[in-house]
Amino acid sequence: MRLFLAFLLLLTANLSQAQLLIRNATVIDVETKKLLPAQDVLVQDGRIAAIGKKLAAPQNVQVIDGTGKFLAPGWVDAHVHFFQSGGIYTRPDAIDLRKYKPYEDEIKWTHQNMENFLRRYTSAGITSVIDVGATVNFLKQRDSFRTKGYAPSVYMTGPLLTTWEPQQFKGLKDDEPFYEMKTVEDARAYVQKQLPYKPDFIKIWYIVMGRNTDSAARKYLPLVQTVIDESHKNGLRVAVHATERITAQLAVEAGADFLVHGIEDEPVDAAFVKLLKDKKVVLSPTLVVAGNYMSTFGQEYGTKQHDFKYAHPTPLNSIIDLKGIPDTNFTNRYKTYVQGNRSSASATDSILRSNLKKLIDGGVIIATGTDAGNIGTQHASSYFDELKAMKESGLDMWQLVQASTINGAKAVGKDAEFGSIKKGKRADLVLLNKNPIDDLANWNNIDRVINKGTAVKPDSVMRNSPADLADQQLLAYNAHNLEAFLAPYAEDVEIYTFPNKLDIKGKDQMRKAYQFLNTTPKLYCKLLNRIVQGNIVIDHEEVWGFGNKPFYGVAIYEIEAGKIKRVYFPQ
Ligand SMILES: [Zn+2]
């Protein structure tokens, strides 16, 4: 017993003294916009303990050779929502498919998969995520990840305090993402109601309807003002959804700290830019989210390479499955809407982008944020789409790096805690194989992620369940991407005609046998039903693309050591 206790003490002692020394890396100093060559960075107890040339190595320190590599602060996504999956069933107010999947099931799924999403963020080098609109139940779940090495640091609000609530979300109690304010008393009470769950900040959904935006915005201003005053009184910053110039202006004048979207209704003027700059407001432009709704509803969603790498395949599959929804009259109305609104959407997008350029040129603090979780905007992977859109809007590489690190920290008022490589800050770092200042493609060329002081290889942090693996290959099958399709299979995969006639052995044979993925343009596999039992996944599938009619089949996937090892097709 005594021996065991001594061993335990030793173990905990080692853990609390976890030390890491990164040798000879080029440090990306985001505050001075400088590359500092040949730096050693010592990490102790989850913090950056020292930075300099040729530091003395403490005993038992884990040494990582950074020669030829670049050390950046971990990336920050300043706008995500964990109550949303990124899939087609996640916003019944935008498209109501609750008869195919009840919203309660979607909420349950997002809770069950929060860990999975967090692992994907870490794997992508995103070590802090800011959830700007959650629920009481998600606030409770947030706390369970605080000390987990695989999870980014999560900053989260409670439900959005809103001037308007979509009816689909009413009555969900602690799963409700909105509290609708009718009076200033409501506004104050709803801030108070969140306090026991310790939100990191407070969020307002400043929604105005009707033609006269100006008068509607002014009508709701007392509610907005009350929330801001009550939050500040309790030491909490306030984030505001305000996509019109007037709502944004009124919110900032009322003391808002963080605008979670860009301005999309009119070009902003110099006075507006100066207002945001003087008040040190942080703005997250969220450039890609609207287009993702459009391409989803238009059934023209394109899956990209980084989606296969980082996105959760299940919600992404559901986006492609919109064309498989039986009520095609309903889904075609969305398609028609998209076709009819293409030019107005692109006009809005160009206002949004040119406003971003004016804001950054005028010295406003811009933070990279995706609005991930919304329909079509995938957790973790959409970050790289957002960066590309910001670059296209005219941000230079240093501006992008700052927006994705220190400015994200400023959004939640925690820039003394994280966001740059400084002594005393949390050791959230990405060790990159190539220089991120040269090319956006280098941002996810990651050697290691150091998260809360723990070094992880990006692949090792991911955990795919048997169902995730089945979904991963289904997604790639429908995207006609052969290599992504093969990725979840074991090198020595075996494919049988049920029960025991071996047809294919090994990935090379499989690659040859599935060449039709590249040559069958209408190929589409719809999942009709699924049974998961332990490491076995049984899918009932409807396959289109060969002739005018579908064929039906059953596939039995057997998973071993995180890969699909055997597949059986009953005849
Ligand atoms: Zn949002």
What pLDDT, in 10s, does the model give residues 16-72? 447 999 999 999 999 999 999 999 999 999 999 999 999 999 999 999 999 999 999
Cα–ligand 1 centroid distance for 380 (angstroms):
15
Q: How many angstroms separate the CA atoms of 252 and 267, rounded? A: 17
Cα–ligand 1 centroid distance for 514 (angstroms):
40
Cα–ligand 1 centroid distance for 81 (angstroms):
6
Cα–ligand 1 centroid distance for 25 (angstroms):
36
Cα–ligand 1 centroid distance for 79 (angstroms):
6
State the pLDDT at residue 10: 44
State the pLDDT at residue 15: 43
What pLDDT, in 10s, does the model give residues 219-259? 999 999 999 999 999 999 999 999 999 999 999 999 999 99
Q: How many angstroms separate the CA atoms of 113 and 90, rounded? A: 13
State the pLDDT at residue 8: 47
C-beta separation of 137 from 175 below 8 A:
yes
- H helices of 195-311, in order, are 213-233, 245-253, 270-278, 289-297, 305-310
Residue 357 confidence (pLDDT) above 60? yes
What pLDDT, in 10s, does the model give residues 110-121? 999 999 999 999
Angle between helices 342-361 and 382-392 (to 10 degrees): 70
| Per-residue b or e along 14-44, where b marks 16 or more CB atoms closer than 10 Å to that residue's CB | eeeebbbbbbbbbbbbbeeeeebeebbbbbb
**Res. 300 pLDDT band, cuts 50 70 90:** very high
**Res. 321 pLDDT band, cuts 50 70 90:** confident
- Please give the average per-residue pLDDT across 522-530, as a whole number: 93
Beta-ladder partners of 71: 27, 431
State the pLDDT at residue 12: 43
- Exposure of 317 in the CB half-sphere (CA atoms within 13 A): 20
State the pLDDT at residue 16: 43
State the pLDDT at residue 324: 86
Q: How many angstroms separate the CA atoms of 192 and 257, rounded? A: 19
Q: Render 304-339 in DSSP notation, one character per residue.
A: -HHHHHHS-HHHHHHHHGGGG-S-HHHHHHHHHHHH
∠ CA 434-439-440 to the nearest 5 degrees? 100
Cα–ligand 1 centroid distance for 470 (angstroms):
30
C-beta separation of 419 from 425 below 8 A:
yes
- Exposure of 60 in the CB half-sphere (CA atoms within 13 A): 8
State the pLDDT at residue 13: 40
Cα–ligand 1 centroid distance for 330 (angstroms):
26
Cα–ligand 1 centroid distance for 241 (angstroms):
8
User: Sign of the C-alpha dihedral, residues 23, 24, 26, 29?
Assistant: positive
**Res. 9 pLDDT band, cuts 50 70 90:** very low
Cα–ligand 1 centroid distance for 546 (angstroms):
41
What pLDDT, in 10s, does the model give residues 400-454? 999 999 999 999 999 999 999 999 999 999 999 999 999 999 999 999 999 999 9
- Exposure of 225 in the CB half-sphere (CA atoms within 13 A): 10
∠ CA 19-23-25 to the nearest 5 degrees? 125
Cα–ligand 1 centroid distance for 557 (angstroms):
37
Cα–ligand 1 centroid distance for 464 (angstroms):
26
Q: How many angstroms separate the CA atoms of 370 and 288, rounded? A: 7
* For the chain, the helix, strand and coil percentages under 3-state DSSP, each to the nearest 5: 40, 25, 40
What pLDDT, in 10s, does the model give residues 69-111? 999 999 999 999 999 999 999 999 999 999 999 999 999 999 9
Cα–ligand 1 centroid distance for 187 (angstroms):
20
Cα–ligand 1 centroid distance for 533 (angstroms):
36
Cα–ligand 1 centroid distance for 28 (angstroms):
29
State the pLDDT at residue 403: 98
| Per-residue b or e along 239-275, where b marks 16 or more CB atoms closer than 10 Å to that residue's CB | bbbbbbbbbbbbbbebbbbbbbbbbbbeebeeebbeb
Cα–ligand 1 centroid distance for 172 (angstroms):
19
C-beta separation of 386 from 124 below 8 A:
no
Please report, for residues 32, 69, 356, 435, the alpha-carbon distance to residue 397 in angstroms, rounded to integers and kept in the order given.
Answer: 13, 18, 15, 11
Alpha carbon 506 to chain centroid distance? 34
Residues in Cβ contact with 79 at an 8 Å cutoff, skipping those fewer than 6 apart: 130, 132, 260, 261, 284, 286, 367, 369, 370, 371, 372
Residues in Cβ contact with 401 at an 8 Å cutoff, skipping those fewer than 6 apart: 28, 30, 72, 436, 437
What pLDDT, in 10s, does the model give residues 462-513? 989 999 999 999 999 999 999 999 999 999 999 999 999 999 999 999 999 9
Angle between helices 289-297 and 342-361 (to 10 degrees): 170
Residue 301 confidence (pLDDT) above 50? yes
- How much of the chain, in percent, has pLDDT values that exceed 90? 94
Cα–ligand 1 centroid distance for 82 (angstroms):
10
Q: Pairing state of beta strands 282-283 and 258-259?
A: parallel
Cα–ligand 1 centroid distance for 382 (angstroms):
13
